[in-house]
Structure 1
Amino acid sequence: MDKHQLSETDICDKFITPALVKAGWRSMYQVYREFPLRAGRVVVRGSKAQRDKTTVLRADYALFYKADIPIATIEAKDNQHAMGAGMAQAIQYADLLTVPFSFSSNGDGFVFRDATLATGVLEQNISLDEFPSPETLWALYCAWKGWTPEVSRIVAQDYAPSKTPRYYQLNAINRTVEAIANGQNRVLLVMATGTGKTFTAFQIIWRLWKSGAKKRILFLADRNILIDQTMVNDFRPFKGAMAKLSPNAKGIERVDAQGQKFIEEVELAVNKTTKQVDKSYEIYLSLYQAVSGADEDRNIYKQFSPDFFDLIIVDECHRGSASEDSAWREILTYFNTATQVGLTATPKANDAGQSNADYFGEPLYTYSLKQGIDDGYLAPYKVIRVDLDKDAFGWRPTAGMTDKHGQPIEDRIYTVADMNRKLVLEARDEAVAARITEYLKGTDRYAKTIVFCEDIDHAARMRQALSNANADICQTQPKYVVQITGDNAEGKRELDDFIDPEKTYPVIATTSRLMSTGVDAQTCKLIVLDQNIQSMTLFKQIIGRGTRLREDLGKTWFTLLDFKRATELFADPAFDGDPEQVFTPGPNDPIVPPEPPEGGPGGPSTPDDPFDPPPGPLGPLAPGEPPPRKYVLGNNVTVAVARERVQYLSADGKLITDSLRDYTRINLTRRYDSLDKFLQAWNDAERKAVLLAELESQGVLFEALADEMGHKDLDAFDLLLHVAWHLPLQSRRERARRAKQRAAFERYGPVARRVIDALLDKYADEGIASIESDDVLKVQPFSHIGSPAELVRSFGGRPQYLAALRDVEQALYNPTAPPSTPA
């Protein structure tokens, strides 16, 4: 057998895998081939999105001591490479999985890298027969970690049977279990919205519970629906040992095997009549506000002894636990002997120095929004920034002008920061509603949409304005637009349906703060920002409403329609995708404009929703101080769009702030410093579509560029020539017309000439990639001329057909070049 003739797959099958099996690695659950690490970044191009295949990352082999406990990676190469040629990739994979052992092989043997230095050598060559066994690597790993036998036993506890965790979930789960097994009692995990915090929490609980390290567990969250969904979904394997710490449950609507809908109830641990807790369960789930409050009857947690729980998982721990006198913190303090794990996407701090980190410690593991988008596990976004004239240029009342209520309007210039806080322009509401509706009509009128407003009053007005703008639907479907705010009981009842991917209505939700966090809107495709946002934490929470990927439901990206320049925060040095600690007012801190709380000092409107208090003054007021005035003006003041701009994420994950023309020119001329070099590369490319795909992966957004220039009938080639080197534009149809006139095509027979004409027509309609496709001869109009085999034979065979295709491309792009000579 000549190894040099074998493919990489053959090397794996004939040499590497047998070496692993001989060393005792059981392929059923210890050896994973083509282990997925990064799914591939989703790139938005105009109105479409697709995965960038160049960013997909898979380890040829990932080795696990036990299922879901990684320990080593292997990169394989064919035998024409050196044995260690794959080591750089193997190290990259090992770093992602945070394991110390990596191997590279070409089938002759292995290069073994041991970052623990247990053998005293970092890298060494070993034969195929010397590959270490699972027990050998595990022993080296445990010694490197310094684990006791008891810690090793807990850490080696199996995962719950379920979907395979992603690499970052493995890291978060394994690090947490290890830290707790080592005696750490406060743990903070920072994971971006949509990256699976609940699933991660489930596996942490499962392994600690099954190992006997933790026996009674409390999971705290802040939305009723999140508790119920968690119980019937991720936490389902706990059924029988798990109950909800509440006397009430709504249940979750589900569909049985026959397609019939039913309500799945969740088990309750509190007697509805006596309010007494059944303490026979091992795992309890509860709302913070359901077990605490000023009313002593609601302090259900005090029915437990302080040492009852030995593990507490705190979901969305940024909400209130940073304040020492908060009701939530009271629960954590009461059970202070328990190990407590905080989960959050946005850790916070106030200027008194209190923060999640003060309580839980510095994050044990962080997986950021930027990482999630780069890896392809979170949806990217594009931004449409709309500046309204009165926002951009300001508005000043005429002398003595009064508002709709007869109030004299203070004489000054009102800017974007005043809109809907000090000044209400009803025409502005209508302009915003019209632009939202225009966008939905141009894309998908039933795309789930959240409109973030300044306050509850603004959310109510926007609901009305959007209903009027969509009267053709709302006339018969009043739930097409709903207001979901803390004071609106009817609207809050619609929240479950809004976030349910199977429910059509509601489509548009107007809100202020209630939906900024903790709402799993999986199919939300449009987020509208009409709120002054100064807090980076709030901004990231709002962005998180759109970042979930649901490719099965057609959700691969989302749009931010920004009326308040809030997306300028993307350019802030603090926004690099990583969580940061930012100022959040403590219980005694004054609230400084322009980021007042929505409802002032008022308490929660309902036990379930403490974050969207009812309407009230902006910020704390001195005793007897009147609330600030809002001047309300009707349609006597007109509002129009002053300017609009579309922005996309670049290849490096930054929002493109230049025009797409400038951005494309800079990128292209950086790669090709002259027109001649670009033309040479274009002419040398065997397939133009491959070169275009490469340019797209580097950030050239052809469809978006064509949209910006208003020329959708242009070839990508012409777009680039015009933008980068100012050459005149030609349409695809004009290029095809000129190519058909080329005399060189007359040497082909009648059938072949019909194929060439059809290729040029298809190019004129769809572009160069369509005619370079291997399947082009299978579709109309070619299928009407003959079968693919017959059409290829009309040229004399496949080589001759490919030569003719090169002739077509030369006629399109280089009409003076000589025709190809058929083989």
Structure 2
Amino acid sequence: MNQKEATARIKINKLLEAAGWRFFPEGTSPANIRLEPSVAIKPTDIEALGSNFEKLVRGFVDFLLLDTRGFPLIVLEAKAEDKDPLIGKEQARKYARSQNCRFVILSNGNLHYFWDLDRGSPYVITTFPTPESVQGYKDVAPDSQRVIDERVEADYIALTQRPTYATEAAWKNEAERSDFIRDNKLRFLRPYQLKALHQLQAAVREGKDRFLFEMATGTGKTLTAAAVIKLFLRSRNARRVLFLVDRLELEDQAKKAFAAYLSADFQTVVYKENRDDWRRAEIVVTTVQSLQFNNKYQRLFSPTDFDLVISDEAHRSIGGNARAVFDYFIGYKLGLTATPRDYLRRFDATRPTTRDPRESERRLLLDTYRTFGCEGGQPTFRYSLLDGVKDGYLVNPTVVDARTDITTALLSEEGFIVAFTDDTGDDQQETYKQREFEKRFFSEATNALFCKTFLENALRDPVSGEIGKSIVFAVSQQHAAKLAQLFNLMADRMFPGKYQSDFAVQVTSQIPDAQQFSINFANNNLLGSGNFIADYKTSKARVCVTVGMMTTGYDCTDILNLGLFRPIFSPTDFIQIKGRGTRKHDFREQLFDVSRRDDLAEPQKTAFKLFDFFANCEYFETEFNYDEVLKLPKPASNKGEGPVQPPPPPGGQYEHLGADILASIRVEEITTEGMRIDRMFFERFGETVRENPVIAEAVEAGQWDRVIDYVNREVFDKPEEFYSLDKLRRAAAVDRRLTLREILEKIFGLIPRFKSRDELLEEEFAKFVSDRKPEEAIEISAIKSYFKAYASSPRTREIIDSRHYQDLATNPFFNSRDFKAVPARYRQLVPDYIKDYLPLNQFLP
């Protein structure tokens, strides 16, 4: 008996059954699998088939999967584990054509391909599609020529919103046209958006099925995406579209946009678990995180459920393991990004800078370009910030470069040096760098100077004359709270009686209703409106202090000032933050009294100020032409007055120098359930967090940053129970290191159980196979062993990374013979992938 054949057969059987295919009738549902048209199968034959499935009297045994009417739907060509599934490609095609089948699955139990004979080449899948999904997929008769031939003009979206708009009197009358467009919220594609659609059609003509639009923030990526969605749905090249975002709050924003643009023809829903609404919709919006959670995308969706997948902010929403979600689905793929690849043009990627965020960003972008078939560095369409400014659609920032003596020192090669005398009387020095500002290095005077400089130099609202609406980016939530308090104190002195501590608001994940605060700020009613002029609608709160909540996808066109009160090391974050101010705005729209609109001298937003206190612009754009450079006064120094600067805090370690002896010893075997006291400890913690309304509400809203921050601050290490993550891990009795989020998910019933280390490794390897699509399928078992060993064994990683391969001879976890079985190109590919995408801490015991 061939063991590899038997193992492959068992795996294929399980995959078929997991996807809902039936070898035997179940109730009123008939069997929908048969082996060769003329080979019958009985329950008593299953053991024989499991042990020797490839060769019977009549030759190779293929699976023929049937539709609901009993007609052939899919040919499944099965190969042994040590054979590449693609070797059966032509044989399967011939057999499929003879059975009038459009679909083929090629599998060796470990590596699987789904092949739509009408659409193109075989596509790697990690699970088998369900019968219902393939039947629906079959109803889509793809014809790329219809995409190419579709006429797309500037009114492509407007025709869906109001098909008869061009025949209406208000449109024909030039004097009424602007009001007609505004009242009916008609959207017309700008010339560059139209060009994006035409270039996508050209790419389809060239046989491509993956596209990347690189469009600056504020240039209407969502509207452009809506036009792409209409193009594929209208041309019947897609039955259903998946739109992926990277943050929860962007779900509703995208749904509202698509509903406004396309609801006359297509339904849009936000996916929610345990609901089938998505099956009745043409456009499904969700976060990539929700699909990743507990591998929901594999458990609840079939690879054939979506014919077009669009990833918003592509290199964020498909970064890391999220790429496996994106690649899971068969069909056309479109990536949208505001981050240009060439922002790293001055970065030398050849030097050893593995800790430099620009290097990781560079690798992430390279992966993104590769994912969308743009290996040459040219996206399908590009429209930059400079293009937008030149064409009059966007505004450039006025960069205010402001540095104090302290921040200048923090930014220097030497850093900020603090001299002090330790407990023994010895002179010591501690050095701080910009990364440690508001983490290990605190300066109240520096923060006060930041706020004062910002307020004295900020752009003013052209209507009310007050400080223009602003967003300030802080280091941490604690830092944000400090800055909001400082701003409010200073505003009370600058504008007596006007704000009553409503001038600045902290908008971070730990603040209840923070998301609603950001919405109210955009809608000009945060803590009230019209504070200076009654008939002018503008937010009473003038400054939102945040950390990361308002960076991507946040639309507030009347922002006039941005404050970088922190060092930024991610180029993506820098570009996204800068993009919050680039949109144009007409301040006349906020005046209730129409007669006053003509009195404004400068009603249009022509620029915004970007206050940079940490040389971020210099870091990313070394030749940036600063528009305004401020020399700040030195913070007041201590000359015998006020509190003395304390020495740096100790390292936080305790060294016990006294003697100790072993008083007693007792051996007790602990079962997999753990000790009763451990289980009770875990259960008490569960009751504590479930009964806490702040935690329960944040978990319900999916605000995990807020949940984890709150538990660490308010629940851990408190008297009585002294809960800690380490104690909870021991109590859970799992063979790997759990995260706090996993523990909380289990407590709140979001996952049924904790996965073992091997289960997690199996899932991660399936993602690797989906992303890297191994060609050496016959060696996949060796690659898997290598993958698991490198991910879970620190000793194996050390040997591989140091290239001391001779040490594998004595390595019990992964030896020299195992390593030699790994194909040469995977010996480095596997470590690179794991370093990029896997948090290795989760595999530790």
TM-based fold match above 0.5: no
The normalised TM-score by structure 2 is 0.44
Structure with the higher fraction of residues in helix conformation: 2
TM-score, normalising length from structure 1?
0.45
